Structure 1
């Protein structure tokens, strides 16, 4: 299995990512974006078991890709590129979760047309060639995607979702018991409660996506990648994803919503980016993507 080892510490879901799990509860001292404490709901999930499950899933995925000759070799230009970007991002990820210092970071590339990338617990990162080629991602845009996925792991969103699902299931079961005790049909009560719980879980997932966007911007900007690339990224997504479901039915916020949220945080992350480049804010040139139809972003 291919591995990137970041210096100065031990061996080290973008669009439709698989479950992301992580542990740790460090809250960074922030001079960039501001987010609250990690959700206490993650405490309701067996994080140790989830981490092992995710690690096993990642290893199995890489093994299957290797057997299918779809796993990018160490000398593949895109693998080298992805690992170089990760090497810049990882040091700035550590401040968000103390356990990240112990993670065995890995970055792999899978040959597939899927527009997808993810980061599992312990820094297990995978990109699919489809997201690189279809969206023609620049290095800055790759960093935005990677930072987003790393943020999911750092903020323990997988454990949080599992905890919320467990609590929701208990609530539905309690509603069924209550309905039965009162002489009502427990199946109808359970179905109604399940619909409410499903809607709540979609909202929680969209909130997690927004948080990952924001934290990922912070990490990328500190590492010297232009956070304005996030706007271009979602403009590109809009060009290729015409049939996305309505926002309220999706686990991901709609593209325009994400762009607006990214722009809202420019005052927090652009100074970090300017500092990484040794420039003043006024000296930063507009971000120029590589696709016609996307105007320079100031």
Structure 2
């Protein structure tokens, strides 16, 4: 049975790009007689606002979607800590004191997420009293797992290349956020029985890292479907931080949510909105 999920973070209202992601995940599951899950990813420290989750549910109902809601991330913190401790015991995590600005100044390579961490704290470990993040030693991890592959529904089989992103953070320095997206999302999808991970092409590169974590933690391996993004008039992906018009505003103005969902399915987009062309051939 196909199980998909929509996993928004309550740090801002949903916009049209979220609607597309939810519709894609919903339809892929329902067309196959499977399950569509809603998971609230609410561990983003002080930015998480519990009141927004109710708005998310109202938005999905307005779009005409049906879902099963699963445990929010805030109730899974112990699982993240246990996984991090397991990786630490395997000798695969190391502490890092570096700030983003320091990494940007020292990095000599650029990966899919920006400057690649140059391994500063491998050579000069932080003092015990310094606040630290915990990074995955990707080279050491790959030496344990050997070559890995993963499959995208449209782009086909991919050779996993987590090394391109460098030694990613799995446990953040900010204690109000107990795990990075990489660790939390990978563990959550396994716990929820997700068999088809649907998300935008902007997260295509993250999947290489997630495949490595699945191998290290002996988690089931789903398939992925990376869909095209919606872009604004300037060719940028829609984003909460740029104030993209919210679904709540559209809903409050009396727009027909079911008609909007049908338009997204058919590729009919509002004025000024375009669909990205994926380098990976995904739709």
- Shared fold by TM > 0.5? no
Q: Which has the higher strand share?
A: 2
TM-score normalised by L of structure 1: 0.29
Q: Which has the higher helix share?
A: 1
* Higher CA-based Rg: 1
TM-score normalised by L of structure 2: 0.30
